[in-house]
Structures are given as C-alpha cells and as structure tokens.
Amino acid sequence: MVFSSLIFLFGFLTVTLGLYYAVPRRFKNLVLFVMSLVFYGWAEPLFIVIMMVSVASAFFLGFPIAKYRDEHKKKARGYLVLSLALNLVWLLFFKYLNFFIENLSLIPFLSGLQTVQQYSLPFVSELPFDFVLPLGISFYTFQIMSYSIDLYRGQTEVQRNFISFGAYVTLFPQLVAGPIVRYRDVDDMLAERKETVADFAAGARRFCAGMCKKVLLADVADSYVNYFNAGLAVEDTVLGGWLVVIFYTFRIYFDFSAYSDMAIGLGKMLGFHFLENFNYPYVSKSITEFWRRWHISLSSWFREYVYIPLGGNRKGKVRQYINLAVVWFLTGFWHGASWNFIIWGVYFLIILVMEKAFLLKALEKIPAVLSHIYALLLVAIGWLIFYYTDTAAGLTCLKAMFGSGALSSPAVGFTALHAVPTLLLFAVAATPYPKKLWDGYVRRSEAGRVFAAVLPVAGLFVCISFMVASSYSPFLYWNF
C-alpha cells in the first residue's frame, strides 16, 4: 500500500484518522500501533512477524540495559550487543545473505580456476535463497538500534509501555522509507502530544504537496528515464546518455523528498513533528554541502552512531579518513546488496576526502556558478552509478555520455526538444525559490491565503485523476 494510491487515501487513511480522533487519548497509541501493522502487513503479513520479533527483543532488552548502564557498564554493554545483534540478524539475512553467498562462490574463480560454474560453492545452487526483502527493514532496524544505543548512553529513559514502543517503531507515516526517527526525538510525543487544527491543516497541505511532487514530477521524470534508457539499448547517443542521468537525478530527488514530505505531513496530522529530511540538495556548491542537505536523517544517524564513536576528526587526518571510509562503505551497503551501491559509496568517499584535503578551499575561490556546476555534475554521475545495478549497462550509459556513439538520433532529439519545458520546470522546482515566492504571496495577500487553502485540495484531485488513469508506481526507497 503506497501513499499515492486510492486505497490508501480513501480506505486506510480515512479509517485511521477517524479511529484516531474518535478514541480517548489513552488509546491513541494503540490505534496507531494496530493500524500501522495493518499498513505494513498489507502486502505480506509474514513481514509483521519479523518486525515484531525485532520490536519485542529491543523492548525487553531495554530493561537490563537501563538497569545496569550506570553501575555495571560491562553487563549493560553485553545486553546492548545482544539487542543490536538480534535486530541486525534479520537485516543481514534478508538483505545481504544472497550477496555474500554469491560473492563467496566467486573465490575459486578469482583464484585462477577455470570457470565459476565448475568451481562455485556446491551448496549455492541447492538452497532456495530467493527472499522477498521486508519493506522498510533498513529504516526500522536503524530506529530500533538508536533506541538501544541512546538507552545505553543514558540519553533517554527506558520505555515501559510496549504499545508506545511498538507505535514508535511501526508508525506508518515514516515506517518504510523514513525519515529515520531517533527515539529521543519523539519520546515526549509518544507520552503526550497535542493535536491542533492548525497542525492538522499544515500537515494536510504538506501531504498534498508531497503527493503532487510524487505524481506530477517524480513519475513524469521516471517515464523519461525509462524512455531514454530504452533508447540506449538500441543506439548509444551522447544526448540520450545525459538525459537518462539528468532525468534520474530529478526523479530520485522528487520521489524520495515527496515521500518525506508526505510522511512529515501525516505525522503532523497525528500530532508528531518529525525533523526535515531534505534541504534543497541540488543548490549545493560542493559534495560536502550536498550531503548536509540530502537524506539528512541517514547522514546524521551514521555521524552520531558510527563516525563520532570511531573518533570522528579528533584523532588526526589519517584516522579521520579511515572513519570516513567505514561510514561511506556502510552508507553504500545500507542502500543495497549490490556492488554498484558499494562503488557509489566509495565514489563519494573519494570526493569528500579530496574536498576536505584541498578542494573546498579551491571551490571558495571560483565563481559560485562554477562550483554549483561542479557539484551537480559529480552528483549526477553518482546517480548513474546508483541507478544501474547492472554494471555493463551503467558503463554503456557512461561511455555514451562521453562520446562512444553518435551525438543524437532523430527519435532522441525529437523527444529531448519536447522535454525542454519539463526540464526547466524540474530545475526550478528543485530550488527553494518557488516556496519563497509562494510564502511571500500568501503573507501579503488575502487572495493568497484563499489560494493556500484551495490549491492543495485542487492538487490532490489532479493527482487522483492521474492515479486513476495510470499504473502503480512505488517509491524508489521502498526497495531499501
């Protein structure tokens, strides 16, 4: 069940909001917990069992962690390790087991033996490792881990109500694609929150804006990606290669930030205030700045729970670069069990190390427009690596971009010409200027305030008409 679907809008969300506001306050977390499980188990009920094992283990192990963290630190650390292991084992099993098995089977081949088929591990072909990845497992695993670690550090208190803890982990607005919510950021809201008409209205507007971004921008960009990518399979062209990457660059931003907008909006409708996950990353003038603006909840999670505990930048340059290498290997691997994601992480690691060493100072000395082009170009190439899980297809696109084939073709040129207005719209929509202009208009004008109330509803109806006429289009980050 996706946010941009009719069954979610007119079925699940309507029922959930009705129940949530109908019951007394002491039952609101129960409604959220139960309805979030319904949302999560809609596609595959078995996923609920897996998630609930993780929830239960972290909840019950939280008590000894809190009990021993002050006077018996070693014992508390043991319970922490057990809690983390019991949660990570599911992620490793479902997301990474196939990757490890497949790559272990290549060891004899890489050692100089004749063929992969002849010398691969004998049990690889005998076991059914065709798993369906539980939705959102990478996200909710990190949320659970943040609770256990913060509890061990004494940064939060133990949650004694299983329903409240379950509601935190399973909260449907951000369950399957973030933002990653740390427990200490919402523990007070779990215990006591105040829903207001103003918050509900603001949340509804944010949800509608995210819906429009998904249906009218991200899905349109995706159609262009598919078209130009299919063209590369027929004929390599410079224009076709660049257009695949450019449209995918817009697609992944609009798609992922749309989900975050909708999640933050839904949270506000329920009395929760989640932190922002994007801050117009494509206006960045360096890769360092880009990663302060992109997927902020993931970047801050790795910084707080991996980079800083490893020593951060406090133990010299060499140690800092090693710590960065660990973080970026894990960041790439977190996105998927495929070599392209690992290469993607290493790619950004190299750029970030170079920026810390000397590039940032150089970028400050050149015109802002050039540093902006520099950042966009490197980000776009990074998305090429990210997009193609098939290395051969990725190399084909990269070679096409830099002249392995013709400059263009009649079909590519014709479609590209008609796509220019769309690209201009995307470029403007990826900046903060439309929002600034709109907010100023609303503040200064009575008509603007009327439009602010009417436009989200009109946008929602336009999206619904598109949803009725088009096919199912899941969010990209549901795969992670």
155 pLDDT band, cuts 50/70/90, is: very high
Question: pLDDT (tens digit, 9 = 90+) per residue, 91-132?
Answer: 999 888 888 888 776 666 555 554 444 444 444 444 445 667
464 pLDDT band, cuts 50/70/90, is: confident
Q: What is the mean pLDDT of the chain?
A: 89
Residue 44 has pLDDT above 90, yes or no: no
**Of the given ranges (64-73, 117-126, 142-151, 268-277), which has the lowest mean pLDDT?**
117-126
- DSSP assignment of 121-181: -TTTTTS---PPPPTTHHHHHHHHHHHHHHHHHTSSPPP--HHHHHHHHH-GGGTTT-PPP
Residue 134 has pLDDT above 90, yes or no: no
- DSSP assignment of 18-84: HHHHHS-GGGHHHHHHHHHHHHHHTT-THHHHHHHHHHHHHHHHHHHHHHHTTT-HHHHHHHHHHHH
**Structural tokens at position 278:** 């994007």
**Structural tokens at position 219:** 């899905």
Residue among 89, 251, 267 nearest 178 (CA): 267
Cα–Cα distance, 258 to 61 (Å, whole number)? 35
Are 256 and 298 contacting, i.e. CB atoms less than 8 angstroms apart?
A: no
**Structural tokens at position 243:** 């257009």
Domain boundaries, the chain: 6-192, 199-469
In this prediction, residue 101 carries a pLDDT of 82
In this prediction, residue 456 carries a pLDDT of 85
| Backbone dihedral angles phi then psi of residue 237, each to the nearest 5 degrees | -135, 145
Respond yes or no on whether the N-terminal peptide bond of residue 122 is cis (omega within 30° of 0): no
366, amino acid identity: I
Are 156 and 147 contacting, i.e. CB atoms less than 8 angstroms apart?
A: yes
Residue, of 301 and 134, whose pLDDT is higher:
301
| Backbone dihedral angles phi then psi of residue 406, each to the nearest 5 degrees | -70, 160
Cα 103 to Cα 100, 110, 121, 250, 329: the distances in Å are 5, 10, 10, 33, 17
Mean pLDDT of 309-317: 89
Mean pLDDT of 280-293: 97
Residue among 176, 142, 170 nearest 270 (CA): 170
Q: Which residue has the tokens 């190390």?
A: 353
1 secondary structure, DSSP code = -
In this prediction, residue 107 carries a pLDDT of 64
In this prediction, residue 130 carries a pLDDT of 62
In this prediction, residue 365 carries a pLDDT of 93
CA dihedral 134, 135, 141, 146 (to 10 degrees): -170
In this prediction, residue 12 carries a pLDDT of 94
Mean pLDDT of 75-96: 94
In this prediction, residue 111 carries a pLDDT of 57
3-state secondary structure at position 237: strand
Mean pLDDT of 229-247: 87
- DSSP assignment of 297-352: HHHHHHIIIIITTTTTTTT-HHHHHHHHHHHHHHHHHHH-SSHHHHHHHHHHHHHH
**Structural tokens at position 45:** 């009920």
In this prediction, residue 115 carries a pLDDT of 47
In this prediction, residue 119 carries a pLDDT of 42
205 pLDDT band, cuts 50/70/90, is: very high
The winner for highest mean pLDDT among 104-118, 164-178, 342-356 is 342-356
**Structural tokens at position 392:** 């051969």
Cα–Cα distance, 283 to 304 (Å, whole number)? 25
In this prediction, residue 447 carries a pLDDT of 82
Residue among 45, 59, 50 nearest 94 (CA): 50
In this prediction, residue 116 carries a pLDDT of 44
302, amino acid identity: F
Residue among 179, 211, 162 nearest 56 (CA): 162
Burial level of 268, CB count in 10 A (0-12/13-18/19+)? buried
- Whole-model pTM: value is 0.91
Residue 161 has pLDDT above 60, yes or no: yes
CA end-to-end distance (rounded Å), the chain: 16
Residue 360 has pLDDT above 80, yes or no: yes
Mean pLDDT of 44-71: 93
In this prediction, residue 471 carries a pLDDT of 59
Sequence-distant (6+) residues with CB within 8 A of 146 are 180, 182, 183, 184, 301, 305
Residue 8 has pLDDT above 70, yes or no: yes
| Backbone dihedral angles phi then psi of residue 45, each to the nearest 5 degrees | -55, -30
Burial level of 462, CB count in 10 A (0-12/13-18/19+)? middle
Question: pLDDT (tens digit, 9 = 90+) per residue, 379-430?
Answer: 999 999 999 988 888 998 999 999 877 888 888 898 889 999 999 999 999 9
The alpha carbons of the chain give a radius of gyration, in whole angstroms, of 24
Which residues are the active-site residues? 335
**Of the given ranges (106-110, 170-174, 222-226, 454-458), which has the lowest mean pLDDT?**
106-110
